[in-house]
Structure 1
Amino acid sequence: MSHVDDTMAPAQPRYPLLAPPAFAAGYPASTARPSSIFNFVGATPDATLTVRRVLEENNRAYDVYMRARFAHNHFSHSILSRYALGAPPALLQKTWEADRGVLVPLDPATEPDRDGPDISSTFPAAITTANWASKATLGKKPAYPLYLAFFHGEVARLGVVPTIETYLLSADANGGGDGSELLIRLVAGATHPFIHLGLGVEFGERLLVAEALASAALHDHRVNVGLFPHGWPQIGLPQSADGNATLLEIYAALVADPRLDPGPFDPELTYSEGMRASVAGERAGVIQRLVARWDLSDVGDAALPRHIEEVAWLATLIAGGTSKPGYPTRVDFFLMHVLTSSIFLPALLPPLGGNGRRIILQTYVLTILQIALARGRPKLYPAESMSWTATPAPKAPAPPRATDVIGDTASAAERSPWLAIVANSIVATDSHVPKSIRALLHYAQMYGATQAGAVPGANKIPGGEALDGSLFVRVAGRIMDVTGWVAAGERERRWDRSGLGWDEVWDMPDFERPIETAKTVE
């Protein structure tokens, strides 16, 4: 009689995979492939097949929100960031098994009261081109399966770029009196639908394009609709007499403008409340006029990379250059989303026509300025960021000194910092870590050789003359210091959520803002 040694059997995942509901049986297959803009080693046939399988499983069985219904399902962001950074198939699978523990079923009928009273009886049987903007479903989270099926069909019918143009850039998709404004909804929710769409385009994943548009349709845009001119984007920004400012100059002007004072420190202020307050009164108009100073008259193929580069420098400094000198480094959780979302412009913009490129760029920059204002309008400290080491490494004991090598392997100054940064980021349980590191690594690849004095607009901001292309590795290392070099044995640590623009928080190291609830977050 033979016996099976249970100790040799594969461990069962802590969170079993949910079966997809019957209505998802016809959902399309994954089309994911390696990134179209980010070049790094590690993608293999097996890794690609693993990514496709788990993205299909997520698409067919799980909601785009997590158990806390104001929090987004980050799994696709997590898996594709780790895949792009070279995570092998086994790690990709374990990422899926870990992440799905906080997810909820795609079929709302399994938990009909998840969002309060069951309102599904008010929904149509299906979303169509005739009713997709109906107030009966728009902005209603339980309608996600209906929108997902609809946008799967539209992506199949029209193709990716025409679907984006039809539902994000057209007049019909952005008003007409029905309040649809899907483009504005796309950049709500701390830019999560925008990130989702960017991943879909970058990795050629049609499932994510449909998920992104469905997610945008669910978002309540009351936190950001006031930022934009009424009728946006068909009604554009006001004309500016000074239309040649760089984004770094524009951000400096935002910080200096007394009309944009974020107000006194309020320890009870939530993120969403701060977003609403940031565009109250005359503030929205002031922000619009600031962004109008950015010259986008030429967004052709030759000029577009220059605009994208400006966003890269500003996004990196907003996330990694707002820690006040003389205090322990902090990286704001919401400002970090400016960095992680910015990487998708090189994928999203080139397939679009000139007007579409201009609309997306202006929409995005308006959004990141609103987020910064909602976080207390933090100053940029480029000299502080440039004082951080350009050869970051874990504080754990260095590897032993080898003999048959060039240099000293025990010296961080003689090792590649990026190898340790990537190795630590892809095993972090918080997906925002690999997302941040991937953006910074991409920018280091693109702009890492930039000399001091060559950063667009840097000479117009205090301390900007010190900026050069080493900024990206310096910020990446400091993010690892803040969040933890977990592969080296450090404990994972949290991002800051205090609102770094208010001076009071710097003397309150343990301050925590109130937890967002479904009532305070769109």
Structure 2
Amino acid sequence: MTTPDFDDSLVERLFPAPTFASAFTSPSAPTPNAGVTPESTATLRRLLIENHKGSTYSSTIGVPTLVIQVPGPITHENWKNHLGNDDYYNAYMNFFSEEIQKHGLSQTFEKFIFSHEANWAKDEARMLDRFMSGLLHPLIHFGHAAEFGVEGMAVEGLAQAAVNRVDHENFYDACYFNSSNSDGGYTSSLTPPLSSISSNTKPQHTHAFTILERILKDGRLAVGKACAQDSQDQITDILNNEGKVIQEYASMWKTSEDEKEIQERVEELAWLVALMFGIGGWKNDRQFKADFYLVHLVTSNLFIPSILSLLRPAHRVELLRAYFLAILGWFVSRGRPALDVKGFFSSVTVDSKPEHSESLTDSSEPVGNPWYTLLTHTVPHRDEHHVKAERALAHSAALYGTRAKGHFSHTELKGAEEINGTLFIRTGGLLMGALKWTYRVKK
């Protein structure tokens, strides 16, 4: 085993100043905000480089740990041999650094995450499965590269995916993906060309809210049936036992390569994760439950538009379908929290304030923009999960806040007619209340 060796000039290139490229290539990607300075940029780069050189990754918890030694190099000949082994994290980082330098970010991403060779060919590397594992941390990490143009984050995200273990079965498989796009070039689709299948009939799409309602009513997915009540690894046990059932529901959610349809599905995902986390964590008779696992659905969803901007149309469809399946799996694994939609919208405020703050008016209407208050207290908050979640909710509010009551009446979800664009600010306020308002930075 050898000590990790970093090429300083390469690392400098991997962690440049953010460019916010995806903000101008995707209508649903986050846009930059004021506040960036040369000093803050230099600090950011320094911290990212220090983290890159000084940490590795534990697939058991999905977070960095201290780096010690590298067993040996990863090459094109052996890159499948050490998948799922944390010890090779830095070796995989070196490997993906070289690939991105040679072939670019998009081609490297498509080859090692979406190609048939990287998933269902000999030895079944199942890289898309690994990319969605580890509580979606590889996707979140990689998403920073897609949004900010910092390729070093992609290197780390791909390496995290490579060392993630895939303990479950019956979830992701070739049959779930039906893309027929293959150009014979550097990349190819998850599944080989389906030359024997031809149809002019467009598959019927089922809205995510309708699918969610059906999942809530399906007794097969109840804790105690899908897995033991005392299971120590509910997500793995549920996916092994009832993964095919969840996959059947996910298969009802259709999308094509059409850009308008892609953006419609992106919007569905934003509403779905906010609803699962926000309404799923709220009960009228108790404090809001900020579920640690479901909040990762909110934070990861923010990066989906930016990642989509890197992909060819066929792989955009595959990413959306893989991500939707992961969302459903995590929701079921958390016990399918009950959703009191009507109670939520009749009880939860749209104008959360710190306890010491008094309303500036006797009117029941919000004063100004409640997001200004919320985000002012979010920025210095000590919990990084909180900061990321509030940012994601604020972005969804900016995109979809105009949706009026009744917009989702066509879905089967109980109480869907009550849902409107205030879902995001209500959820953001509940999260802030649960994790406590921050009034000042503690030194």
| Fold shared, TM-score > 0.5 on shorter chain | yes
Determine if the alignment matches structure 1 residue 390 to structure 2 residue 390.
no
Return the match for 2:374 from 399, 414, 421.
Answer: 421
Q: Distance in 2 between matches of 1:330 and 1:461?
A: 21
Q: SS at the partner of 2:56?
A: strand
| Residue 260 of structure 2, aligned match among 298, 302, 317 | 302
Number of the residue aligned with 1:517: none
- Mapped to 2, the partners of 1:209 and 1:38 lie a distance apart of 18
Amino acid at match of 1:274: Q
Is residue 479 from structure 1 mapped to residue 431 from structure 2 by the alignment? yes
Please state if 1:212 is matched with 2:157.
Answer: yes
Q: Distance between the aligned counterparts of 1:460 and 1:489, measured in 2?
A: 45
Whole-Å separation in 2 of the counterparts to 1:131 and 1:330 = 44
Give the one of 119, 128, 147 matched to 2:92.
Answer: 147
Structure 1 residue 292, shift from structure 2 partner: 1.4
The amino acid that maps onto 2:79 is W
One of 308, 313, 317 as aligned partner of 2:275: 317
Cα deviation 1:414-442 (Å, max 9, x = unaligned) = 24321221122222222110111011000
Match of 2:245 among 286, 293, 297: 286
Tell me by how many angstroms 1:334 deviates.
0.5
Structure 2 unpaired stretches of 5+: 24-28, 178-189
Give deviations 1:447-480, integer Å, cap 9, x for gaps: 011111224x664211111111011111100100
Match of 1:199 in 2: 144
Correspondence for 1:274: 234
Query: Are the equivalent residues in 2 in contact too, given 1:34–1:43 (CA < 8 A)?
Result: no
Q: Per-residue deviation at 1:379?
A: 2.6
Whether 1:431 and 2:384 are equivalent positions in the alignment is yes
**Structure-2 residue corresponding to 1:33:** 18
Partner Cα distance (2:357, 2:311) in 1: 50
Q: Which moved more, 1:285-294 or 1:152-161?
A: 285-294
Query: What pairs with 1:174-185 in structure 2 (closer than 5 Å)?
Result: 174-185=119-130
Change (3 A) 1:458 1:326: farther
Q: Measured at CA, do residues 32 and 292 of structure 1 come closer, stay the same or move farther in structure 2, by a change above 3 Å? A: farther
CA distance in 2 between partners of 1:334 and 1:60 (Å): 28
For 1:453, what is the secondary structure of its paired residue?
coil
**2:188 matches 1:244:** no
Change (3 A) 1:416 1:241: closer
Distance in 1 separating the partners of 2:123 and 2:207: 36
Tell me the number of residue pairs that the alignment of Structure 1 and Structure 2 aligns.
Answer: 410
Please give the TM-score of this superposition, normalised by the length of structure 2. Answer: 0.85
Distance in structure 2 (CA, Å) of the matches to 1:280 and 1:241: 31
Note the 1:331-342 alignment, pairs <5 A: 331-342=290-301
Return the letter of the residue paired with 2:414: P
State the TM-score, normalizing by the size of structure 1. Answer: 0.73
Letter in 2 for 1:145: N
Residue 256, structure 1, aligned to residue 217, structure 2: yes
Query: What CA RMSD, in Å, does the superposition of the two structures yield over aligned residues?
Result: 2.9
The 8 Å contact of residues 146 and 310 in structure 2, kept in 1 or not, is answered as no
2-structure distance, mates of 1:245, 1:149: 42
Aligned letter for 1:41?
A: A
Report what 1:463 is aligned to: 415
Which residue matches 1:372? 331
Which AA in structure 2 matches 1:315? V
CA separation of 1:33 and 1:25: change in aligned 2, threshold 3 A: closer
Residue 241 of structure 1 and its aligned partner are, at CA, apart by 11
One-letter code aligned to 1:468: N
Moved more, 48-57 or 200-209: 48-57
Partner of 1:54, secondary structure, is helix
Maintained 8 Å contact 1:396/1:488? no
Query: Does residue 64 in structure 1 map to residue 47 in structure 2?
Result: no
Measured against aligned partners, the alpha-carbon deviations of 1:280-338 in whole angstroms (never above 9, x if no partner) come to 34x22222221111121x23222211110000000100111112333332121111111
Question: Structure 1, residues 84-140: CA drift from partner, whole Å, max 9, x if none?
Answer: xxxxxxxxxxxxxxxxxxx6433x23xxxxxxxxxx6xx4x3111121111xx2111
Instruction: Give distance in 2, aligned partners of 1:489 and 1:48.
Output: 20
Rg larger for: 1
Please report how far the alpha carbon of residue 412 of structure 1 lies from its aligned counterpart in structure 2 after TM superposition. Answer: 8.9
Matched residue, 1:330: 289
Q: Which moved more, 1:256-265 or 1:366-375?
A: 256-265
1: CA distance, partners of 2:265 / 2:17: 28
Deviations 1:346-370 (A, max 9, x none): 1111331221011101110111111
**Does structure 1 retain, via aligned residues, the 8 Å contact 2:74–2:92?**
yes
For 1:51, the aligned partner's letter is L
The aligned amino acid for 1:422 is L
What does the per-residue CA deviation read over 1:182-201, in whole Å, with 9 as the maximum and x for residues that have no partner?
Answer: 11001111111111111111
Secondary structure in 2 aligned to 1:378?
A: coil
Residues 64, 211 of structure 1: 8 Å contact kept: no
User: What is the Cα deviation at residue 24 of structure 1?
Assistant: 4.8
Q: Secondary structure at the match of 1:227?
A: coil
SS of corresponding position for 2:260 = coil
Paired with 1:384 and 1:319, the residues of 2 have a C-alpha distance of 15
CA contact (8 A) 1:452 1:466 kept: yes
1:392 and 1:412 in contact (8 A); partners too: no
* Among 66, 80, 103, the residue aligned to 1:158: 103
CA contact (8 A) 2:377 2:439 kept: yes
Amino acid corresponding to residue 103 of structure 2 in structure 1: L
- Percent identity over paired residues: 27
SS at match of 1:64: strand
In structure 2, the CA distance between the partners of 1:47 and 1:34, relative to structure 1 (3 Å rule), is: farther
| Equivalent position SS for 2:170 | helix
Deviations 1:234-286 (A, max 9, x none): 3599999973210111111111122222326966433xx101221234x2222
Worse-superposed segment, 415-424 or 152-161: 415-424
